[in-house]
């Protein structure tokens, strides 16, 4: 199949494509330039538009800022993730709220009884995790849109992070370092699957 991959078929301008995708990297080291509350609020203001099933919006974000809380978080990270987390100006815990259904009367108001139906649905924790993961992808893009770099990580003691920081109805989805990339921030860029390897038409 012949597929046009030139950037000019896209609506987003080339600089924004670079910022969000082509030149965006996973950062492993950061400068000590702070990430402000205003930046985080502006990022969330974009990220909140992510789609989710039933507009469920299960993502919660715990911004780990105080030195004391950061130390407790670093202790829960896997060995290879400790130094980069300790060196980031801000770290976010991306959380799935299994009780997202409590908001449905406001966030999905046209569906009468949605909250009660979801309350009785045993698939609710999995639904929370799946949709919060979609929102996590948007969170990474939102961080990039602010001109910052994200360092998402799955290497941590999930039970430990939950015990230290989360409520019983919450599960950790990822931990994300945020900041300006510092020296030696990047590993080598790894190959991506090509179109024909990832997409098939039927």
Q: Based on the shown chain and the rule CB under 6 A, indicate whether residue 189 belongs to the binding site for ligand FMN.
A: yes
Q: Which is nearer to ligand FMN, 82 or 103 (CB)?
A: 82
Q: Would you count residue 79 as binding ligand FMN (CB under 6 A)?
A: no
E strand intervals along the chain:
59-64, 90-97, 149-153, 170-179
Residue 118, SS3? helix
The pair of three-digit structure tokens given for residue 177, joined into one six-digit string: 């370092």
Binding region for ligand FMN (CB under 6 A) out of 50-58, 88-96, 120-128, 152-160? 152-160
**Identity of the residue, 101 or 144, whose beta carbon is nearer to ligand FMN in the bound complex:** 144
CB within 8 Å of 78: residues ≥ 6 apart: 155, 156, 157
Residue of closest CB approach to ligand FMN: 155
Size of the chain in residues = 202
Both structure tokens of 72? 């407790």
**Nearer to ligand FMN among residue 54 and residue 61 (C-beta):** 61
Could you say whether residue 111 binds ligand FMN (CB under 6 A)? no
25 to 64, contacts with ligand FMN by CB under 6 A? Answer: 25-26
Could you tell me the maximum CA-CA distance found in the chain, to the nearest angstrom?
A: 56
Residue 153 binds to ligand FMN (criterion: CB under 6 A) = yes
The pair of three-digit structure tokens given for residue 29, joined into one six-digit string? 């080291």
- The rounded distance, in Å, linking the Cα atoms of 63 and 88 is 12
Q: Which is nearer to ligand FMN, 89 or 152 (CB)?
A: 152
**Binding ligand FMN by CB under 6 A: which of 119, 154, 167, 199?**
154
List the interface residues with ligand FMN, window 159-188 (CB under 6 A): 174
Applying CB under 6 A, the site for ligand FMN has a residue count of 10
Counting Cβ atoms within 10 Å, is residue 63 exposed (0-12), middle (13-18) or buried (19+)? Answer: middle
Interface with ligand FMN, residue 155, by CB under 6 A:
yes
Q: Which residue lies nearer to ligand FMN by CB, 22 or 48?
A: 22
CB 152 within 8 A of CB 63: no
Binding site for ligand FMN (CB under 6 A): 25-26, 81, 152-155, 174, 189-190
């Amino acid at each position: 199949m012949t597929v046009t991959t030139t950037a000019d078929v896209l609506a987003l301008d080339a600089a924004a494509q670079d910022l969000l995708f082509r030149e965006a990297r996973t950062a492993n080291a950061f400068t000590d330039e702070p990430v402000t509350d205003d930046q985080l609020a502006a990022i969330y203001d974009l990220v909140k538009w992510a789609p989710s099933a039933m507009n469920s919006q299960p993502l919660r974000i715990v911004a780990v800022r105080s030195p004391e809380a950061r130390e407790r978080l670093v202790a829960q990270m896997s060995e290879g993730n400790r130094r980069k987390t300790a060196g980031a100006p801000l770290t976010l815990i991306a959380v799935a709220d299994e009780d997202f259904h409590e908001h449905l009367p406001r966030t999905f108001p046209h569906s009468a009884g949605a909250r009660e139906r979801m309350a009785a649905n045993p698939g609710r924790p999995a639904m929370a995790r799946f949709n919060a993961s979609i929102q996590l992808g948007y969170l990474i893009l939102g961080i990039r849109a602010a001109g910052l770099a994200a360092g998402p990580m799955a290497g941590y003691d999930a039970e430990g992070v939950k015990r230290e920081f989360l409520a019983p109805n919450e599960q950790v989805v990822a931990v994300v370092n945020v900041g300006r990339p510092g020296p030696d921030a990047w590993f080598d860029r790894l190959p991506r699957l090509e179109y024909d390897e990832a997409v098939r038409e039927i």
